[in-house]
Amino acid sequence: MAAEMMVAGTVVSESWETDPPRRREGLTNALGLSDEETARIVWAFLAGVSRVGEANPGRMNGFGGALPGTRWSEERRAWHGEALLAGLPLYPLTVDLLTAAPEHITAATLPRLLGCDCSDVMNGEECPDHHELTVTAHALNLFEGHALHPEKVDRSQGAADPRWDGVRSDLVDLVAAHVGIDRTGVADLLRPSGPEALSFAGALIGRANRRARNAIDHGGGNFCAPTDDQETLSSHVRELVREELERERKRERELVL
């Protein structure tokens, strides 16, 4: 999951220069920025962390649970045991856990991860001092232009589980280091005028995640190893994405011919 988040961010970063100028301008203005290079890095970061809501016990405990067959059941138990040894705060497989859509958990938890430390504001609530963080976090996973329902975001707090705050924080740090941004300064860079200014954020993030999945599929899913350090992992991710973007360009040239 960590590598997939990095791939999504890299897709945005690596494809930025080939995007139409008007799209780059629109993406820059949507964040209230004037510098396209800063916008490129911020959007790459946001694309990467858009999936941080998938780090929750209901989703991770259920990993592979819907797949049929004895082999999948055995592999699920093996993965669960290894994940516990690695330090993931999972629950026993027999426990029924609260679930929520990952996009709602992202919207509920990302503002806190990016600097909203106001003690009187709960996850999912809009903080008057960090309005821009809330607006942006809600815009990252829009589907077909539909805004996330505030009540569903609020209810996702239980499924988010505070025991997983550290895992989500580590994932955000990993993406930030990969794209080259200080996560503690992101809040100061976000100045969207409102939800309408980020109306195409969902399309950008959705496209990045689809292209990331294609890159990983073409890479055979084994482009990195758990023992890779940050620098090695980042290098593998960039190489994977550049190969995928080159495949896309080749397909486009073939269509023209």
pLDDT in tens, 66-81: 555 566 678 888 888 8
Which alpha helices (DSSP H) does 130-220 contain, by range? 131-139, 150-155, 157-160, 165-179, 186-189, 201-218
Q: What is the pLDDT of residues 149-184, one digit of tens each?
A: 788 888 898 899 999 999 999 999 999 999 999 999
Q: Is the pTM of this model over 0.85?
A: yes
Residue 74 confidence (pLDDT): 82
Of all residues in the chain, what percent carry a pLDDT higher than 70? 86
Residue 68 confidence (pLDDT): 54
**Average pLDDT score, the chain:** 85
Tokens, residue 62: 């259920």
What confidence category does residue 16 fall into, taking pLDDT thresholds of 50, 70 and 90?
very high
In this structure, how many other beta carbons lie within 10 angstroms of the beta carbon of residue 239?
Answer: 13
Residue 202 confidence (pLDDT): 78
